[in-house]
Amino acid sequence: MPDMPVTICTYPFVFDAQAKTTLLQTDAVLQMQMAVDQAHRQNFSSFFMPVVESVDPCLMLVVRRENIVGDTMEVLRKTKNLDYKKPLRVIFVGEEAVDAGGVRKEFFLLIMRELLDPKYGMFRYYEDSRLIWFSDKTFEDIDLFNLIGVICGLAIYNLTIVDLHFPLALYKKLLKKNPTLDDLKELKPGVGRSMQQLLDYPDDNVEDVFCLNFTITVENFGATEVKELIPNGDDVVVNKHNRQDFVNAYVDYVFNTSVAPLFEAFYEGFHKVCGGKVLQLFQPNELQAMVIGNTNYDWKELEKSTEYKGEYWADHPTIKLFWEVFHELPLEEKKQFLLFLSGSDRIPILGMKSLKLVIQPTGGGEQYLPVAHTCFNLLDLPKYTDKQTLRAKLIQAIDHYEGFNLV
């Protein structure tokens, strides 16, 4: 037999989640550079060959806040697959900020909040788990699910955390792994517990105690409907011998059968941008952590890794006041500060130190608010001398973070 080529992708178990993330990010940067170089070559050719069309080296999205979904769809529907590999640049109409990363972060935050809102009927919100999953019936265009997949792929590709309240099952399916009863327990805890009780029931009278057949009752837009899990499932009683088959069919219906066309559109959109061998290195939980970040907050590590510019240093009186105030804030206010600073209230998979907070002084007086440059995780902090003033100004700033304008 000829020698088979050996690549790092052959042995994913030798890498931890952080190493895999670094590999994926490096691969994305290389692909971006290749796409930019190709655009520059095409633009150079267009000078000498009028039939060659000049192109933008970036994927440009010019959107209005009040119509962010419609404007984005209009651009992405016309976008060639190759253009998804270009660096993303976002412009909000009527706002002056140049997108060095911060505008892009807010774009992902706002568009995902809009697209995933259960009021549109594309996704169903589960109160017990506070998670969402694809609706099995929707009146929206299936192209929207493709768009959501593209947006998620673009977020990963452009190294941006997005706020997705999906269960782990989504990431399993993106990696072609099958959801299990554990995933049902995560999405629908009550139903999951009932299924486990069915499997664990020790006696033989399963039929009499549980009174189940191979059907599932679903509710859509206020109407209740009974669906068969197998052919003639209404006539098949669940007993001790077939109860595992029932649970498997129930899980398969929830995560696969009922949402197949919608998820396929999402999957296709996601893999337009973010497919490839490096992605296959990930386990589902690692991919989830990379997409949405995590909540392993280490506020002391944030302080320890912060850098200072200008007149500020770690023991400057204003800096000491800042950290005193910050560490006294409740968790929700600290998370709001992260959102204000970086565009996300979650921690990158590479850890708190990867945020690289930078604090610099400003020339204004104590009447001015702190200003965050989310592109660079940079905080402009006036030279406050009073703890109460610093606290009031910081909270006022982080409670009004949305929107980009030049100061």
CB 355 within 8 A of CB 307: no
Phi-psi group of 94: left, alpha or beta (phi > 0 → left; psi -120 to 50 → alpha; rest → beta)? left
Q: Give 289: exposed, middle or buried? Use CB within 10 Å, 0-12, 13-18, 19+.
A: buried
Catalytically active residues, by annotation:
375
3-state secondary structure 48-103: HCCCCCCCCCCEEEEECHHHHHHHHHHHHHCCCHHHHHCCEEEEECCCCCCCCCHH
- Four-point Cα dihedral 137, 212, 191, 142, nearest 10: -10
In whole angstroms, what separates CA 393 from the centre of its chain? Answer: 30
Supply 292's token pair. 């949405």
Give, as one character, the DSSP assignment of residue 230: S
- Alpha-carbon gap, residue 370 to 383, rounded angstroms: 10
Distance CA 372, CA 7 (A): 42
Q: Furthest-apart CA pair in the chain: how many Å?
A: 83
Q: Which amino acid is at 73?
A: M
Report the alpha-carbon distance of residue 193 to residue 162 in Å, rounded: 30
CA–CA dist 286, 357 (Å, integer) = 24
Long-range contacts of the stretch 272-275 (C-beta < 8 A, 24+) = 272/81, 272/84, 272/149, 272/150, 272/153, 273/84, 273/85, 273/150, 273/153, 273/154, 273/156, 273/157, 274/152, 274/153, 274/154, 274/156, 274/157
Give the residue from 267, 67, 96, 293 showing the smallest Cα distance to 170.
267
Q: Could you tell me the two tokens for 388?
A: 């109460």
